[in-house]
Structure 1
Protein backbone atom coordinates (compact mmCIF):
# COMPACT_ATOMS: atom_id res chain seq x y z
CA UNK A 1 0.00 0.00 0.00
CA UNK A 2 2.94 2.31 0.71
CA UNK A 3 3.88 2.35 -2.99
CA UNK A 4 0.38 3.43 -3.96
CA UNK A 5 0.57 6.39 -1.55
CA UNK A 6 4.02 7.30 -2.90
CA UNK A 7 2.98 7.04 -6.55
CA UNK A 8 -0.14 9.07 -5.98
CA UNK A 9 1.89 11.62 -4.02
CA UNK A 10 4.39 12.06 -6.84
CA UNK A 11 1.54 12.32 -9.35
CA UNK A 12 0.02 15.10 -7.25
CA UNK A 13 3.38 16.92 -7.03
CA UNK A 14 3.76 16.62 -10.80
CA UNK A 15 0.29 18.07 -11.38
CA UNK A 16 1.01 20.86 -8.90
CA UNK A 17 4.21 21.80 -10.72
CA UNK A 18 2.38 21.75 -14.06
CA UNK A 19 -0.23 23.99 -12.46
CA UNK A 20 2.41 26.67 -11.95
CA UNK A 21 2.63 27.03 -15.73
CA UNK A 22 -0.87 26.05 -16.88
CA UNK A 23 -3.56 28.58 -15.94
CA UNK A 24 -6.45 26.13 -15.60
CA UNK A 25 -4.60 23.59 -13.45
CA UNK A 26 -4.55 24.50 -9.76
CA UNK A 27 -1.30 24.20 -7.85
CA UNK A 28 -2.11 24.42 -4.16
CA UNK A 29 -4.86 21.75 -4.02
CA UNK A 30 -2.46 19.25 -5.59
CA UNK A 31 0.24 20.24 -3.10
CA UNK A 32 -2.20 19.69 -0.23
CA UNK A 33 -3.12 16.31 -1.68
CA UNK A 34 0.56 15.40 -2.12
CA UNK A 35 1.27 16.31 1.52
CA UNK A 36 -1.57 14.09 2.71
CA UNK A 37 -0.48 11.20 0.49
CA UNK A 38 3.19 11.50 1.50
CA UNK A 39 2.17 11.61 5.17
CA UNK A 40 0.73 8.11 4.69
CA UNK A 41 3.42 6.75 2.37
CA UNK A 42 6.70 8.36 3.41
CA UNK A 43 7.33 10.57 6.45
CA UNK A 44 10.65 11.58 4.86
CA UNK A 45 8.96 12.88 1.68
CA UNK A 46 6.26 14.54 3.75
CA UNK A 47 8.88 16.50 5.70
CA UNK A 48 10.74 17.28 2.45
CA UNK A 49 7.58 18.72 0.89
CA UNK A 50 6.72 20.82 3.93
CA UNK A 51 10.30 22.11 4.17
CA UNK A 52 10.60 22.90 0.45
CA UNK A 53 11.24 26.65 0.06
CA UNK A 54 8.73 27.11 -2.79
CA UNK A 55 6.19 24.31 -2.30
CA UNK A 56 6.06 24.15 1.49
CA UNK A 57 4.77 27.60 2.53
CA UNK A 58 1.30 27.37 0.93
CA UNK A 59 0.82 23.91 2.46
CA UNK A 60 1.86 25.11 5.91
CA UNK A 61 -0.32 28.23 5.63
CA UNK A 62 -3.33 26.06 4.84
CA UNK A 63 -2.60 23.39 7.46
CA UNK A 64 -1.88 25.83 10.29
CA UNK A 65 -4.25 28.70 9.54
CA UNK A 66 -6.63 27.67 6.76
CA UNK A 67 -5.23 30.65 4.90
CA UNK A 68 -4.26 31.59 1.36
CA UNK A 69 -1.68 34.31 0.70
CA UNK A 70 -2.77 37.54 -0.94
CA UNK A 71 -0.38 36.88 -3.81
CA UNK A 72 -1.85 33.42 -4.41
CA UNK A 73 -5.38 34.83 -4.30
CA UNK A 74 -4.47 37.54 -6.80
CA UNK A 75 -2.75 35.16 -9.20
CA UNK A 76 -5.63 32.72 -9.00
CA UNK A 77 -8.26 35.35 -9.70
CA UNK A 78 -6.26 36.74 -12.64
CA UNK A 79 -5.83 33.24 -14.10
CA UNK A 80 -9.55 32.57 -13.71
CA UNK A 81 -10.34 35.86 -15.46
CA UNK A 82 -7.99 35.02 -18.32
CA UNK A 83 -9.55 31.57 -18.66
CA UNK A 84 -13.02 33.09 -18.87
CA UNK A 85 -11.84 35.69 -21.36
CA UNK A 86 -10.43 32.93 -23.56
CA UNK A 87 -13.78 31.13 -23.59
CA UNK A 88 -15.49 34.40 -24.50
CA UNK A 89 -13.06 34.96 -27.38
CA UNK A 90 -13.61 31.39 -28.57
CA UNK A 91 -17.34 32.19 -28.77
CA UNK A 92 -18.37 29.01 -27.00
CA UNK A 93 -22.08 28.36 -26.54
CA UNK A 94 -23.86 30.44 -23.92
CA UNK A 95 -24.65 27.50 -21.65
CA UNK A 96 -20.95 26.63 -21.42
CA UNK A 97 -20.15 30.23 -20.49
CA UNK A 98 -22.84 30.21 -17.81
CA UNK A 99 -21.64 26.95 -16.29
CA UNK A 100 -18.04 28.13 -16.35
CA UNK A 101 -18.99 31.50 -14.86
CA UNK A 102 -20.96 29.83 -12.06
CA UNK A 103 -18.05 27.55 -11.20
CA UNK A 104 -15.50 30.37 -11.37
CA UNK A 105 -17.63 32.62 -9.17
CA UNK A 106 -18.08 29.84 -6.59
CA UNK A 107 -14.33 29.16 -6.53
CA UNK A 108 -13.55 32.89 -6.36
CA UNK A 109 -15.97 33.26 -3.46
CA UNK A 110 -14.28 30.46 -1.57
CA UNK A 111 -10.80 31.82 -2.24
CA UNK A 112 -11.76 35.33 -1.19
CA UNK A 113 -13.41 34.01 1.98
CA UNK A 114 -10.16 32.49 3.23
CA UNK A 115 -8.04 34.66 5.49
CA UNK A 116 -4.50 35.64 4.65
CA UNK A 117 -1.74 34.08 6.73
CA UNK A 118 -0.86 35.93 9.93
CA UNK A 119 2.32 38.03 9.83
CA UNK A 120 5.41 35.88 10.00
CA UNK A 121 3.55 32.65 9.18
CA UNK A 122 5.23 29.88 7.13
Structure 2
Protein backbone atom coordinates (compact mmCIF):
# COMPACT_ATOMS: atom_id res chain seq x y z
CA UNK A 1 0.00 0.00 0.00
CA UNK A 2 1.33 3.47 -0.75
CA UNK A 3 2.61 5.34 2.30
CA UNK A 4 3.34 2.20 4.32
CA UNK A 5 6.78 0.82 5.09
CA UNK A 6 7.46 -2.88 5.59
CA UNK A 7 9.12 -3.16 9.01
CA UNK A 8 10.81 -6.44 10.02
CA UNK A 9 9.11 -8.22 12.91
CA UNK A 10 12.34 -8.43 14.91
CA UNK A 11 14.90 -5.64 15.13
CA UNK A 12 18.34 -6.15 13.56
CA UNK A 13 21.33 -6.21 15.90
CA UNK A 14 23.11 -2.88 16.03
CA UNK A 15 25.85 -2.53 13.42
CA UNK A 16 24.34 -4.81 10.80
CA UNK A 17 22.48 -3.88 7.65
CA UNK A 18 20.37 -5.78 5.16
CA UNK A 19 22.27 -7.70 2.45
CA UNK A 20 23.05 -5.61 -0.62
CA UNK A 21 22.78 -2.28 1.21
CA UNK A 22 25.97 -0.25 1.19
CA UNK A 23 26.55 2.55 3.68
CA UNK A 24 26.76 6.10 2.38
CA UNK A 25 30.23 7.47 1.70
CA UNK A 26 31.68 9.57 4.52
CA UNK A 27 30.88 13.25 4.15
CA UNK A 28 34.18 15.11 3.95
CA UNK A 29 34.15 18.10 6.25
CA UNK A 30 36.33 20.34 8.34
CA UNK A 31 37.71 18.59 11.43
CA UNK A 32 38.41 20.74 14.49
CA UNK A 33 41.87 20.19 15.98
CA UNK A 34 43.95 21.89 18.65
CA UNK A 35 46.16 24.63 17.26
CA UNK A 36 48.75 24.01 19.98
CA UNK A 37 48.19 27.44 21.51
CA UNK A 38 44.92 26.83 23.36
CA UNK A 39 42.71 27.53 20.35
CA UNK A 40 40.99 25.57 17.61
CA UNK A 41 42.10 25.11 14.02
CA UNK A 42 40.38 23.15 11.26
CA UNK A 43 41.88 20.46 9.04
CA UNK A 44 40.49 19.02 5.82
CA UNK A 45 41.71 16.85 2.95
CA UNK A 46 40.44 17.56 -0.55
CA UNK A 47 40.56 14.86 -3.23
CA UNK A 48 40.55 16.19 -6.79
CA UNK A 49 41.12 14.80 -10.28
CA UNK A 50 44.71 16.10 -10.12
CA UNK A 51 45.64 15.06 -6.61
CA UNK A 52 44.99 15.41 -2.91
CA UNK A 53 45.74 18.33 -0.62
CA UNK A 54 45.52 18.46 3.19
CA UNK A 55 44.96 21.96 4.57
CA UNK A 56 44.93 23.71 7.96
CA UNK A 57 42.95 26.88 8.65
CA UNK A 58 42.49 28.98 11.77
CA UNK A 59 41.77 32.66 12.38
CA UNK A 60 44.53 34.62 10.64
CA UNK A 61 46.27 31.58 9.14
CA UNK A 62 45.82 29.17 6.24
CA UNK A 63 48.45 26.65 5.22
CA UNK A 64 49.03 23.55 3.15
CA UNK A 65 49.99 20.51 5.20
CA UNK A 66 50.57 18.09 2.33
CA UNK A 67 50.06 17.74 -1.41
CA UNK A 68 49.99 14.45 -3.33
CA UNK A 69 49.72 15.07 -7.08
CA UNK A 70 48.52 12.18 -9.24
CA UNK A 71 50.85 10.80 -11.93
CA UNK A 72 51.42 13.35 -14.69
CA UNK A 73 50.34 16.37 -12.62
CA UNK A 74 52.38 19.31 -11.35
CA UNK A 75 51.36 21.16 -8.20
CA UNK A 76 51.42 24.93 -7.78
CA UNK A 77 50.85 26.63 -4.40
CA UNK A 78 50.00 30.31 -4.33
CA UNK A 79 49.61 32.32 -1.11
CA UNK A 80 46.94 34.97 -1.59
CA UNK A 81 47.26 36.39 1.96
CA UNK A 82 48.14 35.17 5.46
CA UNK A 83 44.74 33.49 5.67
CA UNK A 84 44.13 32.46 2.03
CA UNK A 85 45.91 29.89 -0.16
CA UNK A 86 45.27 28.39 -3.59
CA UNK A 87 46.57 24.94 -4.63
CA UNK A 88 46.44 23.96 -8.30
CA UNK A 89 47.15 20.56 -9.88
CA UNK A 90 47.88 20.84 -13.62
CA UNK A 91 48.51 18.47 -16.50
CA UNK A 92 48.14 18.95 -20.27
CA UNK A 93 44.33 18.53 -20.17
CA UNK A 94 43.10 19.09 -16.61
CA UNK A 95 43.29 21.76 -13.93
CA UNK A 96 42.15 21.05 -10.37
CA UNK A 97 42.10 24.03 -8.02
CA UNK A 98 41.43 24.21 -4.28
CA UNK A 99 41.15 27.68 -2.75
CA UNK A 100 40.80 27.90 1.02
CA UNK A 101 40.82 30.55 3.70
CA UNK A 102 39.57 31.71 7.04
CA UNK A 103 36.37 33.65 6.29
CA UNK A 104 34.95 35.81 9.08
CA UNK A 105 34.24 33.14 11.73
CA UNK A 106 34.86 29.81 9.95
CA UNK A 107 37.02 27.96 7.41
CA UNK A 108 35.90 28.21 3.79
CA UNK A 109 36.97 26.44 0.59
CA UNK A 110 36.12 26.23 -3.08
CA UNK A 111 37.07 23.39 -5.44
CA UNK A 112 37.11 23.81 -9.23
CA UNK A 113 37.82 21.14 -11.85
CA UNK A 114 38.41 22.04 -15.52
CA UNK A 115 38.88 19.39 -18.20
CA UNK A 116 39.77 20.51 -21.71
Band of TM-score, shorter chain: under 0.3
Indicate the structure whose relative CO is greater, using CA pairs within 8 Å and at least 6 residues apart. Answer: 1
Q: With structure 2 as the length reference, what TM-score do the two structures score?
A: 0.23
Q: Given the two structures, how large is their TM-score scaled by the length of structure 1?
A: 0.23
Structure with the higher fraction of residues in strand conformation: 2
Greater fraction helix: 1
**In terms of Rg, which structure is larger?**
2
